[in-house]
Structure 1
Amino acid sequence: MGVRSFFGKPFAKYIAAQTKKWASKPKESQDKVFEHLIKQGAKTKFGKDHNFDQINSYDDFKKNVPIRDYEQLKPYIEEMVEGKPDILWPGKPNYLSKTSGTTSGVKYIPITKDSIPNHFVSARNAVLAYVAETGKADFLDGKLIFLSGSPELAKKNGIHVGRLSGIVNHHVPGYLRTNQMPSYETNCIDDWETKLEKIIDETIDKNMTLISGIPPWVQMYFDRIQARVGDKKIKDVFPNFSMFVYGGVNFEPYRAKLEESIGKKIDSVETYPASEGFIAYQDSQTEPGLLILLNSGIFFEFIPTEEYFDGNPTRLMIHEVELNKNYALIINSNAGLWGYSIGDTVKFVSKEPYRLLVTGRIKHFISAFGEHVIGEEVEKAMKNTCEKFPETELIEFTVAPNVAPKEGLPLHEWYIEFAQKPNDLAAFEKELNLQLQKQNTYYDDLITGNILRGLKIIELRKNSFIDYMKSQGKLGGQNKVPRLSNDRKIAEALNELQ
């Protein structure tokens, strides 16, 4: 047993005990966060504009602070980016996390001195929760890799600017620096494919025990390693690899291919990080869902998804949500985001403690004919179908409507890149359609009513999604392909690459 695993176990138990305390008092935990945020927010321009000095309850807050997305909050953010203090949070932000928006172009999300612990401590606690529950800690003694963006930061009006993963890299504590991979110099390489080859150079002969990243990019890392070593599985290259930490996408569509590449099942921990805040993490290997972080500087609100686009939607606190109901996630944080819609939808699967699943994006859906198919439904349909065709291995997929095909009724088209095709693609396609009908009654009605015809699989050549992401300047790092969209922009781009 090494030093890190020896000291990691008692520390993990301590953190688990602290977590249990605040998680068992959800309303009280959120009330404390709310009171602190309002007190600090009252010192800002936003707070003065929204009468924070008169806010004494959540009802007062709802009357004074509307729900906003980035575009609607942008006037305040622009002042903050200009270097003006006390705009959204007291002082100036320490960092601006640079992200790509679909409608806003480049987005700058503030990270303040007060919000930095939310990002790093939450990631640390996700791993410690696993140690506390399982007693397994040996992986802490080996080399740890996080496939991330560049830690190189620019400056804008005196504020450091960079990708979230690069910013967090600067806050890795000294005791982990010695076993963190890859090197800082390699992490700074911008071109993903060049960077990936350098990462392999540095890691292929090391004692890798924990690997973290978005599943499709980790798969690419594994594929490139296997191209070098021939028929070896990853478990033969990294015999002590025992922990996979991931976030950003549902792991299930990638699990079969990743485990085939590894050559054995690996324990995993799911996280829910975003530039706007670290929302939740998997705290149990036996219970479903991710523990929502109610004491970490974020006050959460939830809007029933069917009301999201209404003029005056219902806004709920944590103790008011229902199980198995989809909500749009709204955050108020010590980074200075107020009534902020991050665009995700979630569903709670437990109240003791509160655990959630990420079910999709509020604006990522297909509803060409009123079916309103969401990400959770297409992923469940795919998962259930793959279970009936166990030989199938997926690399990536996305779904788009075709409302005006050259012949026949309109339909949904599933663009799929297989690592291993099903033995009977036509039967797979038919089953996939049936599974989607089971997931979405509106889709079922449209199929049975002959408004839509059954879905069609568009089989893509190898590396289609890699080439698509490269064409968009989004290859590697924390970028991911939308699971579905209500237009054909991605579909048309993929068609052009065939």
Structure 2
Amino acid sequence: MKTAETTTAGPPAGEERLDRYRARVFLERDRLREAFADPAARQREVLADLLAFNAGTAYGKAHDLGRLRTLDDLRAAVPVQDYAALSPWIERMAEGEPNVLTADQPAVFFTSSGSTGAHKKIPVTPRFMRTTFFPFYYAAWAPMAEHFPDVLTRPDAVLNLKHDPVAAHPTTASGRPHVGASQVDFGKMFGEHLSAEPGTAAPWATLPVPVAAGDYLEKMYLRLRMAVESDVRCVIGINPAMVAALPYQLRQWWPRIVKDVRDGTLGGHPYRAPNRERAAELERLAAYFGTVRPAHVWPNMRLLFCWTTGLASLYLPRLREEFGPGVTALPAPVAASEGPVGVALDRHPTAGSLVVTASVYEFVDADQELGPDVATLGPDELEAGREYHVIYSHVGGLYRYAGGDVVRVVDTVDGVPRLSYAGRRNVSDAAGERLRDAQVVRALRSALGVAGLAARNAACHVETPEGGAPRYVFALAGESVWSADETRRITAALDTGLARESAGYRAARDAGRLGPVALLLLDPDAFLREWQDTVARGVRPPQVKDRLFRQDPENWRQLTAAARQGDRS
């Protein structure tokens, strides 16, 4: 089936730029692989560089960084710390004071919602971008450029859901932009003119009709409406919840999309000549398939680029089918606004190699509570199959920083561990069970497998029935209606799985401090509606992520208000 296109292959200048882009991407991957020959030496080089560069800063003088030489020296001089501990120093930088955490001034402050929902200010300096960010950033696109070269040949072949440039940036007190990483033009700000992500030159990258800066839902509609007239072959979301929302949005907005295409309008605004042929084709799709999916609209779809672990591991297999039976999901880097951890250099479905050239990395067993004096492990001490808190120090002004992510060691390749994202360090602890995201996700995946069922998403909430012990109530949005027998089996298997994953949960259940798991079944679109509603309230889509533990009573009530069948089992 043919698909209408809005652009053609670029002129020779575009081809020349693509050649240079691919060369840079492969060069950075090669350099990173070369560093794997002696990762311990590279870690020592990173440490020496950040100590020397920042020794004269206010933080450097306060912690005597100029006298430190080894990682043990750093451990003795600087405690393990989180954003709250560093925020007084960061606020001084945000107000314009120079030479606080870093020797060069921040060009921008990345925003990050974090685990609390409060907007962090992550200082981003030119030196950090050059030595820590850009090498890993370019390397991250190497598997796409190598194995899916056609998705890069046209600007409109990639629908980049997280790209949202804004004309007026929020700023700190010093006037520096305070924005998401996806809202920064790295070419203009840092001189890296090859750094524009795939899809950021698409016709919908800069919307040609007026729309309020904070109306993120309307922006998503406008881009989707424009994209249905192109041969999209790749969707980039990073945050998988954004990718999961796309098929839902296609269904919700279908009549409006078709009308806009037929009339040549964009959100009702004049846009281009009416495209009655494409509109008729879209109507035929709806008449034939009933439910129109991305695979029908874009039959040449090949690739999704997003995080593939955590809660996404529950729904990504079925979600891929929405985009097409042969679609590949490549894992986005294990990284945060504060810095990179792992990057996939091949087509492994979940894991990326530790970026030994970016930061000095330390790790703590994920079941151990973090504190200023907690003992840490080096990369060479990690064990496959275990999970760890990540602590990093880099030239951008973060020292022994516990960002909140937990990683799982998948294996070791070329002498360095390969890591997958296991979840946030959030712990649910109603009765001494200390459950982590990754433990619950594995128990959920195992329980669903017992009955051969699938879920679109899940969340849990601790409630205390009158006269009883606290218990976990799980809200699951299934792909289909479950029978009473299937529900009972999954509930029992989930309780067993949690006890298997967590010794604390098992002990609490055995002692009667926790009651048995309960299950509440939601309709298939419950989590998608919640995601859509959150974006409609003005939260940027990249920051609306899957959340497993839900202890806010009002949030839980809203999520579960339209339960599809039965009561808690």
Residues 180 and 317 of structure 1: is their aligned pair in 2 closer, same or farther, counting only changes over 3 Å? farther
List alignment gaps of at least 5 residues for structure 1: none
Describe the SS at the equivalent of 2:233. Answer: strand
Matching residue's letter, 1:491: W
Query: Counterpart of 1:46?
Result: 59
Alpha-carbon distance between aligned partners in 2 of 1:41 and 1:481, rounded to the nearest angstrom: 37
Alpha-carbon distance between aligned partners in 2 of 1:322 and 1:102, rounded to the nearest angstrom: 27
Cα offset, 1:178, TM superposition: 7.3
| 2:170 is the counterpart of 1:154 | yes
Query: Counterpart of 1:257?
Result: 318
Alpha-carbon distance between aligned partners in 2 of 1:358 and 1:446, rounded to the nearest angstrom: 27
Cα offset, 1:316, TM superposition: 2.5
Query: Counterpart of 2:150?
Result: 138
| 2:110 is the counterpart of 1:97 | yes
Query: Counterpart of 1:385?
Result: 447
Describe the SS at the equivalent of 2:177. Answer: strand
| 2:546 is the counterpart of 1:478 | no
Residues 310 and 116 of structure 1: is their aligned pair in 2 closer, same or farther, counting only changes over 3 Å? closer
Query: Counterpart of 1:340?
Result: 401
Question: Out of 402, 410, 415, which is 1:349 matched to?
Answer: 410
Alpha-carbon distance between aligned partners in 2 of 1:276 and 1:71, rounded to the nearest angstrom: 14
Alpha-carbon distance between aligned partners in 1 of 2:368 and 2:118, rounded to the nearest angstrom: 27
Cα offset, 1:482, TM superposition: 2.2
| 2:388 is the counterpart of 1:327 | yes
Alpha-carbon distance between aligned partners in 2 of 1:414 and 1:172, rounded to the nearest angstrom: 47
How do 1:74-113 and structure 2 match up within 5 A? 74-101=87-114, 105-113=118-126
TM-score (norm 1): 0.88
Matching residue's letter, 1:122: F
Matching residue's letter, 1:173: L
Alpha-carbon distance between aligned partners in 1 of 2:236 and 2:388, rounded to the nearest angstrom: 28
Matching residue's letter, 1:377: Q
Cα offset, 1:348, TM superposition: 1.9
Alpha-carbon distance between aligned partners in 2 of 1:439 and 1:265, rounded to the nearest angstrom: 33
Cα offset, 1:287, TM superposition: 7.4
Query: Counterpart of 1:190?
Result: 214
User: Percent of aligned positions with the same letter in both sequences?
Assistant: 19
Residues 212 and 277 of structure 1: is their aligned pair in 2 closer, same or farther, counting only changes over 3 Å? same
CA contact (8 A) 1:144 1:181 kept: no
| 2:290 is the counterpart of 1:225 | no
Higher mean C-alpha deviation, range 449-458 or range 480-489: 480-489
How do 1:267-416 and structure 2 match up within 5 A? 267-270=328-331, 271-286=333-348, 289-296=351-358, 298-310=359-371, 312-352=373-413, 353-362=416-425, 364-394=426-456, 396-402=457-463, 404-406=464-466, 408-416=468-476
Cα offset, 1:140, TM superposition: 1.8
Kindly report the root-mean-square deviation, in angstroms, between the aligned alpha carbons of the 2 structures. Answer: 3.1
Alpha-carbon distance between aligned partners in 2 of 1:10 and 1:391, rounded to the nearest angstrom: 44
How do 1:449-460 and structure 2 match up within 5 A? 449-460=511-522
CA contact (8 A) 2:57 2:100 kept: yes
Matching residue's letter, 1:145: L
Matching residue's letter, 1:165: S
TM-score (norm 2): 0.78
Query: Counterpart of 1:215?
Result: 240
Matching residue's letter, 1:356: L
Alpha-carbon distance between aligned partners in 1 of 2:502 and 2:123, rounded to the nearest angstrom: 38
List alignment gaps of at least 5 residues for structure 2: 1-8, 255-281, 564-569
Cα offset, 1:375, TM superposition: 0.7
Alpha-carbon distance between aligned partners in 2 of 1:107 and 1:178, rounded to the nearest angstrom: 25
How do 1:17-56 and structure 2 match up within 5 A? 17-56=30-69
Cα offset, 1:471, TM superposition: 8.2
Aligned pair count reads 492
Cα offset, 1:341, TM superposition: 1.2
CA contact (8 A) 1:50 1:64 kept: yes
